[in-house]
Amino acid sequence: MTEPGGLFSGLFGRGAVGVTDVDWLQAMLDTEAALARTVERAGLAAAGAGAAVTAAASTGTFDRAEIGREAMLTGNPVPALVRALSAAVPDAARNAVHRGATSQDIIDTALMLLARRALEVIDGDLAAAAAGAAALAGAHAGTVMAGRTLLQQAVPVTFGLVAAGWLTAIDAGRQDLDRARSRLAVQFGGAAGTLASLGPAGSTVAGLLAHELGLAEPVLPWHTDRLRVLQLAAALTGVCAALGKIARDITLLAETEIAEVAEGGDHPRRGGSSAMPQKRNPVGSVVVLGCTRRAPGLLATLAAAAEHELQRAAGAWHAEWEPLTDLLRLTGSAASWSVPLLTELHVDADRMRANLAATGGLPLAEHVAAALAPAVGVLAAQDLVAAAAARAAGEGLSLAEALLADPAGAAALRDAGIGRADLDAAVDPAGYLGASAEFISRALAAHASRDGIT
């Protein structure tokens, strides 16, 4: 895990997602404190026990390093934490510490608390990033550029449509996080999921604990049912996929030879190189990709660890802690980086048009072939335009010039009733954008509806 204040924390731990060892310890203490308050409410502990445990449940009271060392004796840090917490409270309150719980109850519930806090932060950053994408989509609805398939120019699109695609992906990722957040549930089942040590009060205490922590109450303990964890991980990985696609698009469009977009930021050393003073690397996009590229591997680990045997897993549960922690942190960092990436992005509309024009109308070959098809047939039109396109590329001609210079092409144009003015219109990118404007409007309307924007 990236250490706070360490060499890589500003890159892979950017933002306010808190999943450090201190955060983990506090989440476990919060769980223990809530449990103590709950068993007091249920009449299973002395009056004031819950307040006493809550007062002691602060990370500053505990030696994290010592708890970590003692974890080697038991396979997890909870037994050592329980001993330390019990020693920190008055005798009358000790009966309320860890009452009815097992170690997995504390760690799983702490994980749910960490995830809830992290998802709130991530969603806030995603909302800001989505707002940036929406602004780009609206501002550049008519900014024509080359669409690119297999990294080659294809047909024209608008940059607004590109940004609208980014927007819908972010919003879809937020919806998945919403669903995952709704499934964050308390874990409280005791030794083997029966809460037998609490007698007839077991299920009552479980419900009260869920209410105390503001988590969902599951139908029954989920010690070896890890779908909840896996769905959370999948939602986080989906967000990383959406943000990684945006970052990859920006790195490609920011290439020196393309130069259609550039990252913002006024610091003179932003994007600098240790060897090449002229460099202005797209550092925001690069770091987003550095975060998001790791998500699929973490998800794979969690998927592999989802098979838990019988009533308690031997190792699979332990295998979840760090990958899920890393996934929360990295998704949070990618979301945080994506806010300035999208809200400060520089768009060069003139460069976009120039790059499209540099191909001499070749991206409009589909449009020209469609115009010729009624006169000569679809396949013949495709062949004529393909031959003209090859000649245009080889001889430095425009598509229109190459087609007019070819006797068969010129004859087909005459047969189709297509004059030079019509041909020029057919190779005008602005006239071949299809439903781009409608798609942008729909994306913006869906986004506005989600966030209540008027």
Nearest to 132 by CA among 172, 166, 158: 166
**Same-domain check for residues 299 and 386:** no
Q: Does 274 have pLDDT greater than 70?
A: no
Which of 296, 317, 350 represents a domain boundary (last residue)?
350
* 449 falls within a domain: no
Distance CA 289, CA 285 (A): 6
Which of 350, 380, 402 represents a domain boundary (last residue)?
350
> Is the Cβ–Cβ distance between 42 and 208 less than 8 Å?
yes
Number of structural domains (the chain) is 2
If 0-12 CB within 10 Å is exposed, 13-18 middle and 19+ buried, where does residue 65 land? exposed
* 152 strand-pairing partners: 149
Nearest to 237 by CA among 134, 322, 356, 334: 334
pLDDT tens digits, 165-203: 999 999 999 999 999 999 999 999 999 999 999 999 999
**Same-domain check for residues 417 and 286:** no
**Same-domain check for residues 284 and 306:** yes
Distance CA 133, CA 143 (A): 15
pLDDT tens digits, 387-398: 999 999 999 999
Instruction: Please pick, among 41, 270, 312, 450, the residue that the annotation labels catalytic.
Output: 312
Residue identified by tokens 């998927």 is 303
* 146 strand-pairing partners: 156
* 144 strand-pairing partners: 158
Instruction: Please pick, among 69, 179, 197, 273, the residue that the annotation labels catalytic.
Output: 273
* 282 falls within a domain: yes
Percentage of residues in the chain with pLDDT exceeding 90? 87
Nearest to 437 by CA among 141, 230, 209, 223: 141
**Same-domain check for residues 54 and 124:** yes
**Same-domain check for residues 418 and 346:** no
Residue-range definition of the domain harbouring residue 415: 361-426
* 435 falls within a domain: no
228 part of the active site? no
312 part of the active site? yes
3-state SS, residue 65: helix
Confidence of residue 240 (pLDDT cuts 50, 70, 90): very high
∠ CA(211), CA(216), CA(221), 5° rounding? 105
pLDDT tens digits, 356-373: 999 999 999 999 999 999
* 154 falls within a domain: yes
* 439 falls within a domain: no
> Is the Cβ–Cβ distance between 194 and 187 less than 8 Å?
no
145 phi/psi in degrees, rounded to 5: -150, 170
What is the number of other CB atoms lying within 10 angstroms of the CB of residue 221?
24
Distance CA 371, CA 405 (A): 18
Residue at 401: amino acid letter: E
Q: Give the distance from CA 322 to its chain's centroid.
A: 18
pLDDT tens digits, 115-166: 999 999 999 999 999 999 999 999 999 999 999 999 999 999 999 999 999 9
The tokens for 376 are 């000569």
Confidence of residue 447 (pLDDT cuts 50, 70, 90): very high
Mean pLDDT of 290-309: 96
Q: Does 258 have pLDDT greater than 60?
A: yes
Q: Give the distance from CA 431 to its chain's centroid.
A: 35
**Same-domain check for residues 202 and 266:** yes
User: Any idea what the CATH number is for the domain that residue 171 is in?
Assistant: 1.20.200.10
pLDDT tens digits, 311-336: 999 999 999 999 999 999 999 999 99
* 396 falls within a domain: yes
**Same-domain check for residues 366 and 273:** no
**Same-domain check for residues 396 and 306:** no
Percentage of residues in the chain with pLDDT exceeding 70? 95
> Is the Cβ–Cβ distance between 372 and 426 less than 8 Å?
no
Residue at 184: amino acid letter: L
**Same-domain check for residues 309 and 400:** no
**Same-domain check for residues 191 and 66:** yes
**Same-domain check for residues 177 and 68:** yes
Confidence of residue 280 (pLDDT cuts 50, 70, 90): confident
Question: Sign of the C-alpha dihedral, residues 237, 242, 243, 245?
Answer: positive
Q: Does 6 have pLDDT greater than 90?
A: no
**Same-domain check for residues 238 and 107:** yes
Which of 315, 350, 385 represents a domain boundary (last residue)?
350
Residue at 33: amino acid letter: A
